[in-house]
Structure 1
Amino acid sequence: MAQVEKPIVEKLRDLYNLQQVDSKIDQIEILKGELPMEVSDLEDEIEGLVTRINRLDATVKELSNEVASYEAKKKESEMLIERYEGQMDNVKNNREYEALMKETEMQRLSIQLADKKVGIAKRELEGKVETLNATKERKEGKAAELVTKQEELKGIITKTEKEEKKLRKASTSARKDIEERLLKAYDRTRSSYRNGLSVVTVERNSCGGCFNAVPPQLQLEVSQSKKILACEHCGRILVDTSIAEPETAKAK
């Protein structure tokens, strides 16, 4: 048996009903505001800061080891100089003396080089430690901010979770009563506007979505509910207030 097509008035009522449910879901999303995105952004930022802290920690350790290594080389050279100078008192000829002088000079040059390397490494180390501390401080601040945002979002979700689940279930159910062609048009128009309105009533001779004037002839056709008609300006589906009234009564 062929399926009997719904009257236009029922199609319009189904669309309006879906719009009412989706608008209530939108209100919950507005209540959440930018919190979900802010929480996600903070989590990403903290993850990036942790990665940076780990890199800086590794660099600080590397530079600290570098400083310790150069200082050890300097100490070794100082000990060698002391030994060579002691040996100079017991040389037997000029050749041995000159050899010890040459070794002593080489160690002095080694000390100068070590001092230079230590100075460079310490300056770099100081800068990295300063950056590391600032990054840790920033991470702590962002972590505290994240906790606040998460608690705020959790509070809203706790208050609205039951209602939101109920509404989303109702939206899914309402969509099953609407043919695919109309659903696609509904979704397309709904996604085009920030307020998510795709189905609106004619109020005070104007479109309830964009508030532009609706011509008298179009108003008449809308009131008859024999066609699915759209606003000439914004493309939203227009319905008569008589279709909206049963939903208004239910809301009360």
Structure 2
Amino acid sequence: MAKKTEVTVEEKLRALYDLQLIDSRIDEIRSVRGELPLEVEDLEDEVAGLNKRLEKMTSDLESIDFEIKEKKNKIEESNSSIKKYSEQQKNVRNNREFNALSKEVEFQELEIELAEKHIREYKAQIEQKNEVINQTKERLAERESHLTHKKNELDDILKETEKEEVALIKKSEEYEKNIEDRLVKAYKRIRENVKNGLAVVPIERGASGGSFFTIPPQVQMEIAGRKKIITDEHSGRILVDEQLANEQKEKMHELFDGISA
């Protein structure tokens, strides 16, 4: 039975830094999109809100039109009643009947005045709502135009980067499988706790990459020896020597060029 080859610390460091380079490239692609997806989403919500507002105001106008028709019908009915009562007054037998009919005529005239007052109010509401509708339509047209522009911008970026991003995510998952779970979990935890997503960084000019805290010479020698996994005491990042980092960068650039070709 063949003896299982044990993975050296150096191999673990190289694998972790490769994973970091892949994930950093994914981060770069996503940063190109920036806030665009959120901008598009906000614009879509705004357009939907404006359309809903227009629907509500259009429905309100229909209700007001209906009320105006009702008031006009009421005026016609009152005019008809006035005509009828006026005719009846010609044939009354006494003053009591005449006065009763006069009160009916007076009541119908008041009803007409009230209906006309309501119609004037409704027409003022229509004018006001039409003004708001026109302003809303202008705003909607402007927002829809802006949304189309932003969607096209996002689509162009997605077309350029989506294929590469999907391929890199797949590679990231593949590389994770070749690293022991304990290290992957530590790597992901560090990535979540640092703002730039750099969990594995090289020593650059005697300092930790990404945080720039000076690393003591003795620790630098241990890191260069690649015999154990060492973390930066200030940031918690996993440290690798500059030579290893450059070798892996060169290797991964070839991979990235192949994916984006």
Q: TM-score, structure 1 length as denominator?
A: 0.91
Q: Secondary structure at the match of 2:109?
A: helix
Comparing 146-155 with 210-219, which one deviates more in the overlay? 210-219
Alpha-carbon contact 2:40-2:147 (below 8 Å) kept: yes
The AA in structure 2 aligned to 1:192 is N
Alpha-carbon contact 2:14-2:248 (below 8 Å) kept: no
Quick one: distance in 1 between partners of 2:86 and 2:194?
89
Q: Secondary structure at the match of 2:90?
A: helix
Quick one: distance in 1 between partners of 2:176 and 2:230?
19
The AA in structure 2 aligned to 1:24 is R
Quick one: distance in 2 between partners of 1:53 and 1:5?
69
Quick one: distance in 1 between partners of 2:228 and 2:53?
62
Deviation of residue 3 (structure 1)? 5.5
Deviation of residue 236 (structure 1)? 1.3
Alpha-carbon contact 2:72-2:115 (below 8 Å) kept: yes
Does the alignment pair 1:122 with 2:123? yes
Quick one: distance in 2 between partners of 1:36 and 1:92?
85
Aligned residues: 252
Hey, what does 2:238 align to over in structure 1?
A: 237
The CA RMSD over aligned residues, in Å, is: 2.0
Written as runs of structure 1 = structure 2, the 5 A alignment for 1:1-252 is 5-250=6-251, 251=253
Alpha-carbon contact 2:223-2:240 (below 8 Å) kept: yes
Alpha-carbon contact 1:50-1:139 (below 8 Å) kept: yes
Gaps of 5+ in 2: 255-261
The AA in structure 1 aligned to 2:36 is L
Deviation of residue 200 (structure 1)? 0.7
Deviation of residue 152 (structure 1)? 0.6
Deviation of residue 232 (structure 1)? 1.7
Q: How many percent identity over aligned positions?
A: 45
Deviation of residue 4 (structure 1)? 5.0
Alpha-carbon contact 1:209-1:236 (below 8 Å) kept: no
Q: TM-score, structure 2 length as denominator?
A: 0.88
The AA in structure 1 aligned to 2:100 is A
Alpha-carbon contact 2:21-2:249 (below 8 Å) kept: no
Quick one: distance in 2 between partners of 1:194 and 1:43?
29
Alpha-carbon contact 1:200-1:239 (below 8 Å) kept: yes
Quick one: distance in 1 between partners of 2:20 and 2:106?
90
Alpha-carbon contact 1:39-1:149 (below 8 Å) kept: yes
Comparing 198-207 with 227-236, which one deviates more in the overlay? 227-236
Alpha-carbon contact 1:70-1:114 (below 8 Å) kept: yes
Deviation of residue 130 (structure 1)? 2.6
Deviation of residue 96 (structure 1)? 2.3
Alpha-carbon contact 1:212-1:233 (below 8 Å) kept: yes
Deviation of residue 77 (structure 1)? 1.4
